[in-house]
Structure 1
Amino acid sequence: MRRWPNNTVLVKIDAGIPQDKRHHIYTVMDSINALSCLKMVNASEGDSGYHILVNTFKPGCWSMVGHTGSDKGWQSLNMGPTCFSNGNRVIHHELLHALGFFHMQSRHDRDKFVKVYKDRVVPQNWEANFKKKGEDEGTVLWLGLPYDYNSIMHYSTNAFSLNGKITVEVLGKFSGEIGITRVPSRGDVAGLNRLYECWDHYLGDDIPGATPYKQIHQKYFKEN
């Protein structure tokens, strides 16, 4: 688990991000701070601490996963021009990547809940966006929480489609639409607080199918 030390995350915004887009990033940072015990801090230019650099260096919307500790002294969170559409969904999504979360459809147990059509996915997007994580790794990453169709980390039904056809098909009884949530779900918030040991915030013990956090904490965060 590549957590940010001391639950503190410095964020710098590159000059290439337009001024009228910056308040959206600050709003999401404030939201994460309010929902968790994390401290996402708008770092000044003179701050030399390790940080996330929100930038437009490359096309697309993407982030490194978790605290990488790059020798550069920062890690990239790329926000191209189209990343600011659809409310603040993409900003939430990418910041949660940076805090340590993979895509929901990459869970090791996803085949019980969705069918992913590999032959319909643009090949260069398969590895990072759809490939399943190993069971051991996945158990830690999702920290006893059930599969969440409402997660802001879930892709839509036709994400990265090669031919316009469905790439992610819901198999369960979920009647909503996946991949459209604009704010973190209960499961997203609980996962964040479980990962960062935010005992005085929402931990999701009331979510059907969730393993009580105390049990998860004893197993993954403390010596047995």
Structure 2
Amino acid sequence: MEYCNKRNMTIRITVMLTLLLPHTPSSASSYFHITKPALRGGSKSSRRWMNVRNGEHWEIPYVVEDLGPDSSTRIREAMQEIHDNTCMRFVPRILQQYYVRFVRGSECSSQLGMRTDEPNTITLSTHCETKGIILHEIMHTIGFHHEHSRPDRVRYVRIVEENIIQGQAYNFKVLPWNEVINYGTGYDIASIMHYPEWAFSRNGQNTITAVNGGELLGLQQDSLSKTDILQINKMYRCRKCEDKSNNCNKSATTHRCKRQFKVRKACRKSCGIC
């Protein structure tokens, strides 16, 4: 389900997902799916997680509730991919007011942007325990719509409405440009926020095709795409993490990083600043 909470400017996205196994017609008609849509952009209205800064990182506190070791491992893997490519950092919650809860449920769901009235909740059913699906839900939480909701999708994909499960067509709605921002990036079939071709199929036939009716090439449901990473970094104004000196492997000692501003400035990566 999706609904808008005007007071907090958040959207709840709730859908059942299949296991990320090779698609068969029977599985397509048995489950709802949410792994990738055909156009993604950042939400213009959702609240950003820019309230807690630690050096050059934005921190998002989190807790994992009532989930087994396999789920916890996949959650950590998804978070690590975001840590490795952006300035976002998920940290265990202590007493922070705003945070994300990962909980067990009957569906895979998340909310759009940071909530201020209650904790953000990412719900994971047993069908959601893959790094790719958890990344998808985290992307909603940090402020991203589905890729297939993008206004310019008509130039790239076609929605086959007659193949969609009755009552689920809303999952394919297009958002107006005043609700999304693409940060200057083009349509990305490979985005983690893009639905697979057979999402919400009622008959095992594709619900999303290329605009010419052909197969969509480049779909994947495992990792952040280059465009996903670029958009996160632009949304949260992340600086590129790099050293500006060839001598950082020698000069960036713990002592010098702490004591010398010039070393910290020239060796941001080696000093662990970013």
Smaller-chain TM-score bracket: 0.7 to 0.9
Aligned mates of 2:81, 2:69 — CA distance in 1: 20
**Aligned-residue offset at 1:134:** 0.6
**Aligned-residue offset at 1:168:** 0.5
1:62 aligns with 2:109: yes
Aligned mates of 1:164, 1:154 — CA distance in 2: 18
- Gaps of at least 5 residues in structure 2 are 1-43, 52-57, 243-274
| Equivalent of 1:40 in 80, 86, 90 | 90
| Equivalent of 1:52 in 88, 96, 100 | 100
Aligned mates of 1:131, 1:175 — CA distance in 2: 19
Equivalent residues in 2 for 1:177-216 (5 A)? 177-178=218-219, 180-200=220-240
Aligned mates of 1:176, 1:108 — CA distance in 2: 20
**Counterpart in the other structure of 1:24:** 74
% identical equivalent positions? 27
Root-mean-square deviation (CA), in Å?
A: 2.1
Aligned mates of 2:63, 2:100 — CA distance in 1: 6
Higher strand content, 1 or 2: 2
Q: Report the AA paired with residue 165 of structure 1.
A: Q
Summarize the Cα distance change of 1:43–1:97 in structure 2 as closer, same or farther, 3 Å threshold.
same
Confirm or deny: 8 A CA contact 1:35 1:201 kept in the other structure. Answer: no
Summarize the Cα distance change of 1:159–1:174 in structure 2 as closer, same or farther, 3 Å threshold.
closer
Per-residue Cα deviation, 1:57-85 (whole angstroms, up to 9, x for no partner): x312111011122x22x011111011014
1:121 aligns with 2:164: yes
User: Could you tell me the TM-score, scaled by structure 1's length?
Assistant: 0.78
User: 3-state SS of the aligned residue for 2:136?
Assistant: helix
Summarize the Cα distance change of 1:198–1:123 in structure 2 as closer, same or farther, 3 Å threshold.
farther
**Aligned-residue offset at 1:55:** 0.7
User: Could you tell me the TM-score, scaled by structure 2's length?
Assistant: 0.64
Aligned mates of 1:137, 1:175 — CA distance in 2: 26
Confirm or deny: 8 A CA contact 2:163 2:207 kept in the other structure. Answer: yes
Higher helix content, 1 or 2: 1
Aligned mates of 1:111, 1:42 — CA distance in 2: 41
Aligned mates of 2:229, 2:99 — CA distance in 1: 22
User: 3-state SS of the aligned residue for 1:28?
Assistant: helix
User: 3-state SS of the aligned residue for 1:5?
Assistant: coil
Max Rg structure: 2
Equivalent residues in 2 for 1:1-224 (5 A)? 1=44, 2-6=47-51, 7-14=58-65, 16-44=66-94, 47-56=95-104, 58-69=105-116, 71-72=117-118, 74-85=119-130, 88-127=131-170, 129-138=171-180, 140=181, 142-171=182-211, 176-178=217-219, 180-200=220-240
Summarize the Cα distance change of 1:174–1:162 in structure 2 as closer, same or farther, 3 Å threshold.
closer
The aligned length equals: 190
- Gaps of at least 5 residues in structure 1 are 203-224
Q: Which fold has the larger relative contact order, with Cα–Cα distance below 8 Å and residues 6 or more apart in sequence?
A: 2
**Aligned-residue offset at 1:170:** 1.5
